[in-house]
Amino acid sequence: MSEKKPVTEFLAEATEIVEGLSRELVVLDEHRGEEPEPDRLNSIFRAAHSLKGLSSLFGHERITRLAHVLEDALDALRLGKVMADDALIDAFVDAVDALSGLLTMASRDESEGPAAERAVALAQHIESLLSQGPTPVEDPLKQLGLEPSVLHVLTEYEEHRLRENVKKGVTLYKVRAVFSLDDFDQRLTALTAALKAIAEVVSTLPSAQASDESHIGFDLLTACKQSAAELTRVLAPYGASHALISASTAPPRPRPSAPRPELGSSSELSLRSLAQTVRVDISRLDKLMAAVGDLLLTRSNIKRFAEGARAAGPGGLHPLWAQELAREARALERKLDDLQKGILEVRMVPLGQVFDRLARLVRRLLRESGKEIDFEISGGDVELDKLIVEDLSDPLMHLLRNAIDHGIETPEQRVAAGKSRRGRVRLYATSEGNHVKIEVGDDGAGLDEARIRDEALKRGLVTATKAPQMQRRELLNLVFLPGFSTRKQVSELSGRGVGLDVVKTNLQRLSGLIDIVSEPGQGTTFVLTLPLTLAIIRALVVQASGHTYAVPLNSVLEIVAVRPSELRTVEHRQMLSVRGQTVPFVRLSQLFKLPLVEVQQHYVVLVGLAQHRMGLAVDALLGQQDVVTKPLSARLRDVRGFAGATDLGDRRAVLVLDVPALVSEMMRPADAGMGNL
């Protein structure tokens, strides 16, 4: 899709840049009168440059213009063409202020206001400050005796830095380093970092002397206030040498006038300024996550070992060592947690990404429907795993379309029912611990129970004896059955070849739940509950007939202990009553055809899939653990009921249950026979 990046993303990115600018300027402001640090000026310059690029991409001309002026001013400043005097710094502070104002306007979709006028005036003001002319300097560069081919390839900024250092009497060196082609990039980066600790690296130039085919040489023009001995010490690990640059020593060898390679400060600058974010293929993050999962195992092994060492007492490890080991194991654990959290955070994107797209679509639908509807949206800042967010767009669109087309009545009907003419459609998201709840609601007529019952009877989805006994909740859930449609509610959707069953299937794939809340005359709300991520999951470790299984906790609603006598049988199926709701009960051992063990009480794991609930009984609960699910072999694709396998730390494979598959298996009428214990 060639769709433009949604405006919220622009705002988020731009706000971040402006905040950064503001932080840097505060420091600049505090150090008035001193010469600004080159690194700080560079970083402000980059920020202005990025902002310029970003805003022009999104067509925010005023921001672009102000950022552009700011960029020019900073460029002039870092090149020594103007002084960082009070007037200029004041103007910078005002400009950042004005930029925030412009962003606020952009977020409200306003195009005129005082902030806009101020921005224009400020841009002119800064320009006039700049035009007051450069400070003339005699060129100390010439005294250096650098050969013309070197001078030729230096950027204006690099020349300026050389000049400044000469002016200040800092000694300039040419550092020569030769690296193997295999790892020169890392080695050069490391060398540059080491040098930066004691010196300023003005320019990195590739050396013409290819000593041989597998090596590459670099000359780093370096300004160093420390002694030559110190420089030698820093260079030693890199096998690099240095030579003094001064008027007297004209370097003997000709320099290349080659185009600069993609290394060194000036190209790095342009790269950084445009890319504040990195795009990463989600599969790479999956790999990282799998690596973390393996590390988690190593961690638990180390932990066990540490505990063992402590418990061993005298005769075992020295107690101090055992203590040390335990402490390090704890530190490792904390760091791993951070790492895991970090990777999870990287995968998280705001729901706004999909909400914005939906909002545009809803506005179009509203125009077409001819109904009077207010559309409310909130919770766009709630974050979810990227993969989940992508897959949400279709189901949500479906539900919204449903609400607009069928949920909300015509204005006349509403007035006749004593409601306001204008209807309301809501799209809300809220974060609830490990889950995110998304609601799509309308204040329309609500689902028509009688109509659903008739339709279900007509289609043979329920029997004539059962239909009248069904509770409202059960009846409402019928709308998720494939092919179900009532003339009133979903006929047009069915006409498009899709129905609520597709919504349900999509959600199941994301381990999500869907519920309907609907009151006649009050409206209908679909409540979607989604796990935060699918990459690493917290699992409940259970035992059935002596086998260990992991149950993804995001499918677990609650756990209850039940004595066999508390179970009831309805139509040959065992049922369990949990807070007034009757749910099917099945023992995992029974489902897996394992030999049944007699138990005093069942631990019932209540699991949910879309609108279904089921009680899965196990013999014992062993605990909870974070697991990375590894896929089962493609050879086992016909074996249903397992999402994969994991390692709980003992190097065995433990099967992870595919709760959605097990629930739908249980819900299939064909399997209704397996009720008896």
Partner 1 sequence: MPSFEQLLEGFLYREGEPGLPGLQWLEDAPVPEASTVEAPHEYLAFQLTDETYAVPIERVREIVKVPVLTEVPRAAPELLGVMNLRGEVLPVYDVRARLLLTQQVKPVGGPEDVPSRSRIVVVRSDDGDAGILADAVEGVARLLPSLTEAAPPGGTQRPYLSGLSRRGERLYILLDVERVLE
Partner 2 sequence: MQLCAFRAGDEELVVDIMRVQEIIAPLPLTAVPRSPRAIEGVVNLRGAIVPVVDVRKQLGLGEPKQAPRPRLIVCRVGPHLLGLRVDGVSTVFRAERESLKPAPMGQGSSPHIIGVCAAGGKLRLLLDVRALLG
Site residues (CB under 8 A) for partner 2? 206, 208, 210, 213, 254-259, 261-262
Count of C-beta atoms within a 10 Å radius of residue 67: 29
The one of partner 2, partner 1, none whose footprint includes residue 294, by CB under 5 to 8 A per kind, is: partner 1
Q: Would you count residue 535 as binding partner 1 (CB under 8 A)? A: no
Work out what residue 652 binds among partner 1, partner 2, none; the CB cut-off runs from 5 to 8 Å by kind: partner 1
- Per partner kind, with CB cut-offs from 5 to 8 A, the member of partner 2, partner 1, none near residue 254 is partner 2
Gap between the Cα atoms of 414 and 227, Å rounded: 86
Choose from partner 1, partner 2, none: what does 213 bind? Cβ within 5-8 Å by kind: partner 2
Residue 156, Cβ neighbours under 10 Å: how many?
12
First to last CA, the chain: 54
CB of 205 to partner 2, least distance (A): 11
Backbone angles phi, psi at 185, to 5 degrees: -65, -45
| From partner 2, partner 1, none, interface partner of 256 (C-beta below 5 to 8 A by class) | partner 2
User: Closest Cα partner for 371 from 415, 336, 339?
Assistant: 415
Angle between helices 449-458 and 487-495 (to 10 degrees): 60
User: Does 166 participate in binding partner 1 (rule CB under 8 A)?
Assistant: no
Stretch that binds partner 1, among 349-357, 361-369, 433-441, 631-639 (CB under 8 A): 631-639
**Rounded least distance, CB 624 to partner 1, Å:** 20
Q: Does 596 bind partner 1 (CB under 8 A)?
A: no
Least spacing, CB of residue 5 vs partner 1, in Å: 32
For residues 2 and 15, give the distance between their C-alpha atoms in angstroms, rounded to a whole number.
24
Number of chain residues interacting with partner 1 (CB under 8 A): 26
Residues 634-653 that bind partner 1 (CB under 8 A): 634-636, 639-642, 644-645, 647, 651-653
Q: Give yes or no for residue 547 binding partner 1 (CB under 8 A).
A: yes
Query: Could you tell me the smallest distance in angstroms from the CB atom of residue 190 to partner 2?
Result: 23
Q: How many CB atoms lie within 10 A of CB 392?
A: 25
- Residue written as token pair 């329309």: 444
Residue in 61, 110, 631, 672 binding partner 1, rule: CB under 8 A? 631
**Would you count residue 1 as binding partner 1 (CB under 8 A)?**
no
The distance of closest approach from Cβ of residue 215 to partner 2 in the complex, given in angstroms and rounded to an integer, is: 11
Asked if 302 interacts with partner 1 (CB under 8 A), we say: no
Nearer to partner 2, 264 or 352 (CB): 264
Q: For partner 2, which is the closer residue by CB, 60 or 187?
A: 187
Nearest to 97 by CA among 89, 85, 86: 89
Contacts of 361 (CB under 8 A, 6+ apart): 397, 400
Q: Report the half-sphere exposure of 660 (CA within 13 A, side-chain side).
A: 16
Question: CA–CA separation, 244 vs 229, rounded Å?
Answer: 12
User: Does 662 contact partner 1 by CB under 8 A?
Assistant: no
Q: Where are the beta strands (DSSP E) in 356-422?
A: 373-378, 383-385
Binding-site partner at residue 412 among partner 1, partner 2, none, CB < 5 to 8 Å by type: none
> Residue 429, exposed/middle/buried by CB under 10 A (0-12, 13-18, 19+)?
buried
Instruction: Return the number of the residue (460 or 595) whose C-beta is nearest partner 1.
Output: 595
Q: What is the dihedral of CA 559, 565, 567, 569, to 10 degrees?
A: 170
Binding interface with partner 1 (CB under 8 A): 290, 294, 547, 591-594, 630-636, 639-642, 644-645, 647, 651-655
